[in-house]
Structure 1
Amino acid sequence: MTAIAAPAQTSATTAGPSKTRNRVLWTLQILFGLFFIIASGLPKLVGQHDAVQSFRDIGWGEWFRYFTGVVEVSGGIGLLVPRLSGPAAAGLSITTVLAAATQVFLLHNAALAPFPLVLAVMFAWIAYERRASFATLLNR
């Protein structure tokens, strides 16, 4: 009789991203986190003129501007917290896809849609690479 041994798991599947990839991810997470906190979310919360006008053009009321600002600031902070980085990136991926759809369908400005879509892809990649943080968060 012959025994068949189970294949050994590689360290890449259990250990997470490599050291270099981890550095790239953290660099992106810090840059995107600061961008979403300072340049994207806070102007909506403090009522910067351009943000107010954009949300008036959408026509859903001031509550939607505040809601979007809170979502963006929360997502930016989440990118900076290791155990929240995966879920925050997934949430920001969804948020940026919806931002692109808003540009196209509500504001009729399709030229501005590619930027949030590129961000959505980047956030989806970060969420995938930080997928272990989902399990950590769910196991708490």
Structure 2
Amino acid sequence: MNVLAIVLEALLGLAFVMAGIMKIAGVQMHVDNFNRWKLPQWFRPITGIVELAGGAAMLAGIWVKGLPALAGILLGITMLVGVLVHVRIRDTAKNTVPAVVLLILAVVVLLIQGPDLDQLFG
């Protein structure tokens, strides 16, 4: 397996697991962010569950072929929506760049591991 892919999967997996847990737990920073983004609070734990599931799949994908590509799709879509939310409210670059970086990293994992998707569905 590609060492770069393993490192990216571990970093992304841990980042999204942590972010998901914090959203589900209702950490004040995330509550404030959802208010600033003009998103309903009921959407915060749903986002957290998606991030937690995607992060866990990314971590499990270190051992299960195809799973990182699937997680890359899920997390890539999640981060694309996140970037669009930042753009919609005309957020600062400082606040938008982390979402863009996570989107790019999810796409990189998808591109590296994409050929293994058939092992999940084939």
Bin of the TM-score, shorter chain as denominator length: 0.7 to 0.9
- Say what the alpha-carbon RMSD is for the aligned residues: 1.5
Q: For residues 75 and 133 of structure 1, what CA distance do their matches in structure 2 show?
A: 17
**Greater relative CO (CA pairs within 8 A, separation 6+):** 2
Cα pair 1:87 1:133 within 8 Å, conserved = no
Name stretches of at least 5 consecutive residues in structure 1 with no aligned partner. 1-18
Other-structure match for 1:36: 16
Q: For residues 117 and 58 of structure 1, what CA distance do their matches in structure 2 show?
A: 16
1:107-126, aligned counterparts within 5 Å?
Answer: 108-111=90-93, 112-126=95-109
Q: Aligned match of 2:87 in 78, 81, 104?
A: 104
> How many correspondences in the alignment?
117
Other-structure match for 1:62: 41
Letter in 2 for 1:110: T
Cα pair 2:12 2:106 within 8 Å, conserved = no
Q: For residues 39 and 99 of structure 2, what CA distance do their matches in structure 1 show?
A: 20
Report how far residue 57 of structure 1 moved: 2.7
Task: Please identify, of 113-122 and 26-35, the stretch whose mean Cα deviation from structure 2 is larger.
Answer: 113-122
1:19-54 deviations in whole A, cap 9, x for unaligned?
5xx11110111111011111x111100010111111
Cα pair 2:13 2:54 within 8 Å, conserved = yes
Q: Aligned match of 2:73 in 77, 85, 90?
A: 90
1:133 aligns with 2:113: no
Q: For residues 3 and 45 of structure 2, what CA distance do their matches in structure 1 show?
A: 33
The TM-score with structure 2 as length reference comes to: 0.86
